[in-house]
Amino acid sequence: MLIYFRVLKESFNFAINALTNNKLRTFLSLLGVTIGIFSIIAVLAAVDSLKKEIEGSLSGIDNSTIIVMRFPFTSTDIPQWKWRQFPDVTYEEYEYLKRSLPDAKAVCYVLNVPSETLKYEDRTVSNVDIAAVTYEYPEIETLELSGGRFFTESESGGGAPVLIIGDEIANSLFGSPDEALGKKIRLYGRKFTVIGVLKKEGNALGGGSKDTAALVSVNVARRIYGDNSKSVFPQITIKPEKNIDQDGFMATISLRLRTIRGIRAEEGDTFFVNQFQGIADIIDNITGQMNVIGLVISLFSLLVGGFGIANIMFVSVKERTNLIGIQKSLGAKNKFILFQFLFEAVILAIIGGLIGLVLVYLVSLLASSMTGEFNFVLSIGNMVIGTVISAAIGLISGILPAISASRLDPVEAIRTGM
């Protein structure tokens, strides 16, 4: 075992000498490995960060949650032209499902409505994301309030002029979330009373943070837009009880909706029962494809880097032919020479890979500080992947030069070196 440590130490010294004595050649040879590792780890880090950001923004919703609407989450056998003609889910269907659906922990009706402007005295906040929901919404998605409360069942059903606002809106209109409660805000040409302020979330990908959102009763929006407006998009969100048969529960939902819509047995559904898990699967599929595309592109850089490592190792073998002959004449075995050059190739490749990792780290810090809304994360796992790939490239690139060095005849090597 000690001999391998000695070989490793000597190989490391030879690698350092190769770096210091032939700076330009070494730089050009390692550039490919550095760029390749930088590309691979940058792609992995960006995709991981993107996935973590998306999952973080959706973390308040359970994957078992079901969303009923006229659009599908995933691909479907129904032609697009056909499902685009499906009717929207209605408030009456929401009430029917709430009354008749077993094993449902919560059923909520949501209207996705256009952004609006909020006014308080001489202060205005534009492009506010309005969520029109029923009172069960906090049971569907985790909402943390820094102050106040959510609207009650009677306020929801009667369309009371109350609303809950995000932290950023509270700061913009009142200077502080503590000052917002009880204040009257103008929305839809009428005054609404602030009864709650959402806890600060921070920036989210694509501007999806609730810091810039406001929640109102769905019946307020229904009075404003009506039930047949093309500018709103309704959905029924259902959270099932734990440990139930998910497929059976979804089949029950379909049966109830078919009943209320009067759909005959031979006719197909005119709605989609989407499981929220489908969104997670879509995210995994997209990020997986992004990883594959990025890795394929990066492999070309690694291929160039591998040729560079092989080139520098062949040159190193040629320059040290005399030394190899002397080592073998003194009793060094072929295996010793082989491992010596393999270790040197691996060490050179790892050095190039480490430079690439450092560059990724610096770029991630710069990107995070510049965007402010997206946190690039270079995980330990990705760093290990980069190091392993570097070592593998060195091993593959150095195998042929190492074999050629180990097979040199000691007499011919000494004579050639002289």
How much is the pLDDT for 207? 47
* pLDDT class of 205 with cuts at 50, 70, 90: very low
Tell me which residue has tokens 């593998």: 392
Low-confidence winner among 23-37, 146-160, 386-400 (lowest mean pLDDT): 23-37
Element housing 308 (H / E): helix 277-319
CA dist 402 and 340 (Å) reads 8
The contacts of residue 22 (CB under 8 Å, 6+ apart) are 312
CB 222 within 8 A of CB 110: no
Q: Residue 196 pLDDT > 70, yes or no? A: yes
Two tokens at 64?
Answer: 């078992």
CA dist 352 and 106 (Å) reads 55
pLDDT tens track for 158-170: 889 999 999 989 9
Residue of higher predicted confidence among 68 and 331:
68
The arithmetic mean of pLDDT across residues 33-44, rounded, is 78
Measured in whole angstroms, how far is the alpha carbon of residue 173 from the centre of its chain? 33
pLDDT, the chain, mean: 80
Residue of higher predicted confidence among 2 and 67:
67
CA dist 259 and 139 (Å) reads 26
How much is the pLDDT for 133? 93
Q: Residue 144 pLDDT > 50, yes or no? A: yes
Residue of higher predicted confidence among 25 and 154:
154
Low-confidence winner among 14-23, 81-90, 181-190, 405-414 (lowest mean pLDDT): 14-23
Q: Residue 254 pLDDT > 80, yes or no? A: yes
Q: Residue 373 pLDDT > 70, yes or no? A: no
Q: Residue 278 pLDDT > 70, yes or no? A: no
Query: Buried b vs exposed e over 219-234: b needs ≥16 C-beta within 10 Å?
Result: bbbbebbeeebeebeb
* pLDDT class of 318 with cuts at 50, 70, 90: confident
pLDDT tens track for 11-33: 667 666 666 776 776 777 777 77
The arithmetic mean of pLDDT across residues 299-325, rounded, is 75
* pLDDT class of 135 with cuts at 50, 70, 90: very high
The arithmetic mean of pLDDT across residues 340-368, rounded, is 81
Low-confidence winner among 213-227, 256-270, 338-352 (lowest mean pLDDT): 338-352
